[in-house]
Amino acid sequence: MIDKMVKSIAALSIAATMAFGAQGVMFNVVGGNAETKYNTMVNEKIKTIGFILSDPHERINDAYATKYGSKILADGKPNPKYDPAWAKNLDNLGFFSVSNDLKIRELLLKYPELGGFSPFNFHIYKAANEDKTYVGHIVPQTMLDIVGIKDEAARKEFIATFTELDAMVAKEIGGTVQFSEYKSLPAKPMMQFEITFDRPADLSSYLDSFQEQFEAAFEKNEYIIAGFKNYKDAYTDKKLEFSKYDAYFTYSLCHFTFSYNIFNKGRPDAGAFAPCSMYMYIPKGTNKLVIGMPRLANWTSVLNIEDKTMQKSVTDLDADITKIMLSLGAKEL
């Protein structure tokens, strides 16, 4: 459980001088079931501090029970996805994609790779075997390190966008703040691609066609399109400058069986990284579609996942995503 891999804020000054010390994921840990408080906060209150909730996925644990814990389907047929090792390990598991659109606009104009965590998962979970609820997210410094932003001014600005959110969690959820710690990131934290295309007079025709192919390719390989956010359209609608890009949007991807075998089998904290955010943009006037996403290898590094089966599934999924992108005509960078 996460208690074995975290240290409280009080211990951070000591940990910083050790081999460990980089903060990976932060959780407010509170006694009891905080689901109702969390739902009120994420659905009603975070918008008052500028955060936009998109594509909420609540109580994923219930879907796990139906998909992997039932021997017989609703139509009376055997369930091919039934897992003989099924156990109810979670009382709650929720993915809520959020971003502070107004505060990150100028940062996205400078550093489009921030789309790897825009939106990010504002995570909640409760294990069935303990009376505690965990609410949190990846530490923004780690997000920046993964996407490769070293500009100190930009880092400071991005980190500051989390201040009000963390203060709200402290007020509404309370509990003790705990951080995971890690030694290093993978050698190559990001996967990056580029697609060159024949640019039509109406760019939307190309985008519609590509998005249709993209979604079909991933769904064919048992991925779920868990979210879609069009930042270009959102800023244009608000009459906010975003002309550096002719298109800029992000997809949220989830492989349900992969996630089940990690989140329901001992590492629900890894849900802070899910669903994976893949950003895509077309620089103004070009015929290049640029694509990027944090590798799932970050999960094992940042969260010190030592289970060999989980490690292999992470490696396999990174390779699988790359294979799908190459099949769509992308060039790996």
DSSP state of 300: H
Q: How many distinct structural domains can be found in the chain?
A: 1
Query: Encoding tokens for residue 257?
Result: 């069986």
φ and ψ of 112, to 5 deg:
-60, -20
Model confidence at 2, in pLDDT bands (50, 70, 90)? very low
Task: Give the Cα separation of 318 and 293 in Å (integer).
Answer: 10
Q: Which domain does 328 fall in, by range?
A: 2-332
Model pTM score:
0.91
List strands edge to edge, sheet with 276-283: 223-230, 245-255, 276-283, 288-294, 190-196, 331-332
Virtual CA dihedral for 196, 202, 207, 213, nearest 10 degrees? -90
pLDDT at 64: 96
Cα angle at 317 between 247 and 306, to 5 degrees? 125
Sign of CA dihedral 155, 22, 164, 123: positive
Task: Give the Cα separation of 288 and 115 in Å (integer).
Answer: 17
Radius of gyration of the chain (CA): 20
Token pair 């629900």 in the structure block, residue: 268
pLDDT tens per residue, range 68-114: 999 998 899 999 999 999 999 999 999 999 999 999 999 999 999 99
Model confidence at 8, in pLDDT bands (50, 70, 90)? very low
Q: By the 8 A CB rule, do 75 and 113 touch?
A: no
pLDDT tens per residue, range 18-39: 344 799 999 999 999 999 999 9
Compute the mean pLDDT over every residue in the chain, rounded to the nearest whole number.
Answer: 93
Picking from 291, 257, 249, the residue whose alpha carbon sits closest to that of residue 274 is 257
Please report how the helices 60-68 and 256-263 are oriented relative to each other, as an axis angle in degrees rounded to 10.
100
3-state secondary structure of 307: coil
φ and ψ of 191, to 5 deg:
-105, 135
pLDDT at 289: 98
3-state secondary structure 253-286: EEEHHHHHHHHCCCCHHHHHHCCEEEEEEEECCC
> Residue 77 sits in a domain of what CATH number?
3.30.310.70
